[in-house]
Amino acid sequence: MGKSAAHIVWDWNGTLFHDIDAIIGATNAAFVELGLEPITLEQYRALYCVPVPKFYERLMGRLPTDVEWEVMDEVFHRYYAEHRVTCGLTEGAAELLADWRSAGRSQSLLSMYVHEELVPLVRGFGIEPHFIRVDGRTGPSGGSKAEHMVRHLQALSVVDPEHTVVIGDAADDAVAALHVGARAVLYTGGSHGRASLEKVGVPVVDTLEEAVEAAQHMAA
C-alpha cells in the first residue's frame, strides 16, 4: 500500500458508534446539576459545537465558570459511561469497515473519547483489526480535534493527507480534516442536524454507506 492509496479516518461517537441517546441523556444529567432545563435531540443538534463550553454558553447565555465546567464534565462522563453499554454500532458499520479493508484500502479511527476507554470498547465490537491505528483523546476534554488529527496522521507514515477523507458527524471533524490538508464527509446521524452541517461546505450524507461512496471518489 503506497501513499497514493485512499484512506479513511473514522470518527467514533455519533458516527461508527450510535450513542446519541446516551449523549443526550448525559448532557441533560449535567444540566440538572446546574438547575438548567433539559434539551431535546433537535435542540442539541441545532446548537452543539466545540469547544464544548461554547455549546453550554449557547444554552446558558454565558460561559460556565471553571467550577461549573468541572461539575458538568464529571457528571456527563459518569452518566455516559453507565449508559453507553446500551448502545451499538451504527447500522451497516461493521460491513462497511470489512469491505473497505477487503478492497485493500486503509482506515483508522480517531476519537475525542478518552483513549483508555475507547480501545477496549472498539475491541469489544470485534472491529479493531480493520484499523491500522486507533487513537482516542489524551489530555483534557472539551477541545477541538484538529491537533489530535495532526498527531494521528503523523503516526501514519504510509498515509497521504491528500488521499485521506475524514468521516464524522460534527463540524469539528471537517475542521480537523481541513487543518491537515485532508477532505471530509459529514454524516447526519450524530451530533449535528443537516442544516448545521451544510454550513461547513463539505459533502453531507444521511448514511454511512453514502459517506464511504463519497470518500472513495474524493480520495482517489
What is the CA angle 122-124-125, rounded to 5?
A: 70
User: From CA 217, how far away is CA 93, in angstroms rounded?
Assistant: 19
User: From CA 186, how far away is CA 34, in angstroms rounded?
Assistant: 32
The sign of the dihedral angle between the CA atoms of 35, 141, 12, 186 is: positive
pLDDT computed for residue 1 by the predictor = 47
User: From CA 1, how far away is CA 104, in angstroms rounded?
Assistant: 8
166-188 average pLDDT score? 97
Cell of 99: 469491505
Position 144 confidence tier, pLDDT thresholds 50, 70, 90: confident
Position 51 confidence tier, pLDDT thresholds 50, 70, 90: confident
What is the CA angle 36-39-41, rounded to 5?
A: 160
Across 15-19, 60-64, 121-125, 182-186, least confident range: 60-64
Output the average pLDDT for the chain.
93
Q: What are φ and ψ of residue 5, in 5° steps?
A: -75, 145
Across 53-67, 87-101, 147-161, least confident range: 53-67
Q: What are the distances in angstroms from CA 89 to CA 84, 129, 142, 171, 208?
A: 11, 16, 23, 21, 11
User: From CA 184, how far away is CA 173, in angstroms rounded?
Assistant: 7
Of 108, 217, 211, which Cα lies nearest the Cα of 157?
108
66-70 average pLDDT score? 92
